[in-house]
Structure formats: C-alpha cells, structure tokens
C-alpha cells in the first residue's frame, strides 16, 4: 500500500531501510520532471520557429530528437518504479530473513 500511495517518492524503500536507493529514487523523479519540462519547452520553442504548432508530423527532426531525449530520465524512473512493484516482495522477504538471523544469533548469545 505504501508503494501505491507515495511510492513515487521512494517511501517504500525508506520504510524497508534502503535509504540510499530511496534518495536516488527521489532525485531521479525530480530530475526526470525537470528534464521533461525542458523537453516540452524545447519542443514548443523549436516548433514555434518552424511554424507548425499543432502538427507534430511537420515539426523539425531536431525538435523531436531533443524533446525525446529529455524524456528518457522519466522513462528510466518509471521502469524502476514499476520494477519495485514486482520486487518489493523479494525485498520484504530478505528483510525478514535478516531479522530472523539476528534473533537466532541473539538467542545463541543468551545460552552461551
């Protein structure tokens, strides 16, 4: 549920103790949003110069390439976000295993 509600900001990773990747997910999200805004602006400005606003087929190749490249970080973030949905169960099970190993070591120390 945490992934669904505020997982876009990496909250599920912070909850599982994966702080570095949680921060990386936040930075990647904001970087992707900034790059997407730049790509949209570049597309608008370059299509304004060619006089083809509203007709994407006749825009310059440069406008299409630059705006497409600017959206790549967003697609990378989106893929990471969706992969977290698949692998979040693996992360939780790994944390449970680590917790049980720690408690077993504590129990061994008690009986020594």
pLDDT in tens, 29-80: 999 889 888 888 877 777 765 555 555 555 567 777 777 788 888 898 889 8
Residue 10 near residue 81 (C-beta atoms within 8 A): no
DSSP secondary structure, 17-71, as one string:
T-HHHHHHHHHHHHHHHHHHHHHHHHHHHHHHHHT-TT-GGGS-HHHHHHHHHHT
**Cα 36 to the chain's mean position, in Å?**
14
**pLDDT > 90 fraction of the chain, expressed in percent and rounded:** 5
| pLDDT given at position 59 | 59
User: pTM of the prediction?
Assistant: 0.66
Mean pLDDT within 85-108: 75
């Amino acid at each position: 549920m945490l992934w669904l509600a505020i997982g876009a900001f990496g909250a599920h990773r912070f909850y599982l103790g994966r702080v570095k990747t949680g921060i990386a997910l936040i930075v990647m999200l904001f970087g992707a949003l900034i790059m997407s805004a730049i790509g949209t602006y570049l597309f608008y400005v370059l299509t304004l110069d060619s006089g083809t606003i509203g007709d994407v087929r006749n825009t310059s190749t440069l406008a299409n390439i630059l705006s497409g490249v600017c959206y790549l970080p967003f697609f990378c973030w989106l893929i990471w976000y969706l992969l977290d949905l698949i692998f979040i169960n693996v992360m939780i099970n790994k944390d449970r295993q680590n917790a049980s190993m720690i408690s077993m070591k504590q129990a061994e120390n008690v009986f020594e």
